[in-house]
Chains A and B, each alone.
Chain A
């Protein structure tokens, strides 16, 4: 410690530079920060979507820029039995596969929520169908459904269940059901794991309280598990419906829409008409026709299932 006092020191206030002042400008900052995100979204989302919608109203083909034809593409499609069939199959495929995925997925989630030995290993195995690339599992199914080399046909013939090979994808209805089965197989893990996460948020003391209140296992499911799971169920179902309705890979890899266009989904038909068929305008029109279905499904599950009064905040209404 020295006895001398430090010289008086005053801080001179420095005028910030031009660049510093620019970055203090709120409007400038907003633009700078938003630009990358907006740029990416515009380039990769808005532009293709806008282009697709525009094409749907033109008669563009590959190699020839089209002209505006108004609703002509849609008018033509309304009279096209292949398109109408693809609309029917898209809805049917989505409805049946969703019911199957959610029925089995919920069942699996409830099982996995019990105290099982090797629980984490089981959960990892359950996820397998989902982490395998779709095209890869589609090829596997293609092989399983093969008219000549199907392992299922082979086994059933060995066991004497059928005389000849089973018809999986050679006629319309068996092909439709086979594709739905493959889609369910692929979709179950997503549903099961998401619902399992939802189940684990339910406090065990609620089940204990219900046990003391005299609830049977079914009543505990009906009055506790199911309503408590509803919010997450709604979200998962919305996603699942969107993914199923817009499915492309499974169908295109296994049947390419055949036999005789019977298994075309709207997505596969749009691709078929637009790229190999060259009718870009018509393909785009088919794709655009999917939008109302998706909007409807989303609104339905969002408003019908997701909103629950008891989840909302502190308001008293």
Chain B
């Protein structure tokens, strides 16, 4: 178990800059999720921590030791790959024991470690199978088992759930989180799925275009997104982000809707943000026209048109309405987010 510090890490491929100086501090035992759209540099950063990519600038330290020039095998890390990278010609047992075999561990230790990992992951009955004979979820577990037996200081996960179907993904998500809590090993997890990030992380690092947009606890990012990118990226369905300006005693969107502002607001807000779940049905609210109603069972998502502005609301109530019907909604004024012309949050 160890801390991980990434200081001004840069990565350049030829003339293409992938990372523009990234800083991340990861505490001992913390579960950190790097999240962002594809191409944002999150996997590259993970591979730099693993030692599979060299570091073009800045430094990375694991447990206080700068590892820029330390080969991967000496960094005391274990990685789970997106495609699992199980050795197809080895049984589950051999896959898990491979690192110990290379380190010439005694057979009794290998046996013990493999059995311990198999027990944790529920792989006992599958130890003599080949990867080909396993389901996706089982392969995923073997890949984790291969990481566990090494007692690494840091676990690295590179989009480990993206090859699984939706149901299994939810199940493995909680399994990984539970495992991490049990082992209390520092973990860095890369995903493009913000729900995975929200549900699993102690700390989320939102990346975009080779830069860090915001880092913090999941709910802190949800409650106080630092800028438009994070506001739009975190949360599902995504936050309504409506460009406009403060006028006429409220916020006048470019589409012509007039939305109420929290009392005492002034300044040069250029974007009005309100999460769908923070809109309420209210008789004294802003009137809009229903465009589409999407019931999910637990809630109802309604797309409204107010003036020319489209806005999505998610309501616990069952909204009875047909396209074209009027509906009055009211934003929860304490949960309105305002952003300046530069895209940053106005506090």
Binding site for B on A (CB under 8 A): 203, 205-206, 208-215, 219, 223-224, 227-228, 230, 308-316
Determine if B89 and A227 form an interchain contact, defined as CB atoms under 8 angstroms apart: yes
Per-residue A-contact encoding for B77-119, CB less than 8 Å = 1, 0 else: 1110111010111100000001100110000000000000000
Asked if A209 contacts B81 (CB within 8 A), the reply is yes
> Does B72 interact with chain A (Cβ within 8 Å)?
yes
State whether A314 and B85 are in contact (beta carbons under 8 Å apart), knowing that A213-B73, A215-B102 are contacts in the complex. no
**CB < 8 Å neighbour of B83 from A203, A228, A313, A316:** A203
Chain B neighbourhood of A316, CB < 8 A: 129, 133
In the assembled complex, which residues on chain B have CB atoms less than 8 Å from the CB atom of A227?
A: 89
Count of residues in B whose CB is under 8 Å from the partner chain: 27
Which listed residue, A205, A211, A224, A230, touches B73 by the CB 8 Å rule?
Answer: A211
B residues in contact with A308, CB < 8 Å: 89
Bound: A228/B103 CA distance, A: 22
Contact B102 A228 (CB under 8 A): no
Interchain CB contact (< 8 A) of B98 among A223, A309, A313: A223
Assess whether B52 is in contact with A208, with CB atoms less than 8 Å apart. Answer: yes
For A312, the closest partner residue in chain B by CB is: B132
For A315, list chain B residues within 8 Å (CB). 133
Chain A: minimal CB distance from B317 (Å): 48
Chain A: minimal CB distance from B48 (Å): 13
Contact B79 A228 (CB under 8 A): no
Q: Is B34 an interface residue (CB 8 A)?
A: no
- The CA of A230 and the CA of B88, in the complex, are separated in Å by 12
A-side contacts of B132, CB under 8 Å: 310-314
Given A205-B81, A308-B89, A310-B88, decide whether A213 and B98 contact each other with a Cβ distance below 8 A: yes
Q: How far is the CB of B144 from chain A (nearest CB, A)?
A: 13
From B88, B89, B129, residue with most partner A Cβ within 10 Å: B89
The 6 closest A-B pairs by CB, nearest first: A214-B73, A213-B99, A205-B85, A209-B85, A310-B130, A227-B89
Among A212, A213, A312, A316, the one with the most B-chain Cβ atoms within 10 Å of its Cβ is: A212
Residue of A nearest to B102 (CB): A214
- Looking at chain A's contact residues, the main secondary structure is helix
Cβ–Cβ contact A309 & B52, under 8 A = no
Contact A228-B50, Cβ < 8 Å, known A215-B102, A316-B129: no
Please list the residues of chain B having a beta carbon within 8 angstroms of any beta carbon in chain A.
Answer: 50-52, 72-73, 77-79, 81-83, 85, 87-90, 98-99, 102-103, 129-133, 146, 150
Q: Could you say which residues of chain A place their CB within 8 Å of the CB of B85?
A: 203, 205-206, 208-209
- Determine the residue in chain B with the shortest Cβ distance to A205: B85
Q: In the complex the two chains form, what is the Cα distance from A316 to B127 in whole Å?
A: 12
Task: Say yes or no: A208-B73 contact (C-beta < 8 A), given A213-B99, A227-B89, A309-B130.
Answer: no
In contact, B81 and A214 (Cβ under 8 angstroms): no
Cross-chain contact B77 with A219 (CB below 8 angstroms): no
In the assembly, what is the distance between CA of A315 and CA of B130, in Å?
Answer: 10
Q: Is the CB of B81 within 8 A of A208?
A: yes
Give 19 pairs: A residue, B residue, CB < 8 Å, sorted on A.
A205-B85, A206-B87, A208-B81, A210-B87, A211-B52, A211-B73, A212-B51, A212-B72, A212-B78, A212-B99, A213-B99, A213-B146, A223-B87, A223-B102, A230-B89, A310-B88, A311-B132, A314-B132, A316-B129
The answer for the CA separation of A314 and B133 in the assembled complex, in Å, is 5
Q: Is the CB of B72 within 8 A of A228?
A: no
A15: min CB distance to chain B, Å: 52
Distance in Å from the Cβ of A198 to the closest Cβ of chain B?
13
User: How many angstroms from the CA of A264 to the CA of B347 in the assembled complex?
Assistant: 93
- Looking at A208, A224, A316, the one whose CB has the most chain B CB atoms below 10 A away is A208
Q: Which residue of A lies closest to B83 (CB)?
A: A205
Interface contact A228-B99, CB-CB below 8 Å: no
**Complexed CA–CA distance, A310 and B86 (Å):** 12
- Of chain B, the residue at the smallest CB distance from A202 is B88
* CB-defined contacts of B131 to chain A, threshold 8 Å: 310
B145 CB to closest chain A CB (Å) equals 13
